Amino acid sequence: MVQDIWLSFRRLPLWVQIWVAVILVPVNLMPLFFLDQPQGVLIAALAITGMALNLPIMIAARGMSEAMALPHILCWVPLVIVVVGLLSAAETLNPTYIRFLWLLLIVDVISLVFDVRDAAHWMRSRKPG
């Protein structure tokens, strides 16, 4: 099963593999370094849960699936709202935290653009007939 998931990942376009492995996953793990900041625990929970919920999907599909977009939408839309709210009061935040929040916001909004398309395609493919 792990090999099936790995091979499925490796069949993705190279730019997607780089996006996921070098940008998306690391940036969504970075909230662990900011747990002591305002809303830090909530941001970490939403960011990581959005990824962790993909594990059962990958196991069931024995690889990558467009259904993996659904946990991102479920968790990262609220995450984006929280981050935008924090950035609207940025003058009270640590400058390093502000830079991180902007990075997280940009990365997750880009991901959500792809996720909405993938989720719609996956749901259309599930309709009978």
pTM across the whole model: 0.91
Over residues 45-101, the pLDDT tens digits come to 999 999 999 999 999 999 999 999 999 999 999 999 999 999 998 899 999 999 999
Q: How far apart are the first and last CA of the chain?
A: 30
Helix axes 95-126 and 69-87, enclosed angle (nearest 10): 150
pLDDT of residue 1: 83
Domain membership of residue 70 as a residue range: 2-126
As a whole number of angstroms, the distance between CA 52 and CA 54 comes to: 5
Provide the number of structural domains found in the chain: 1
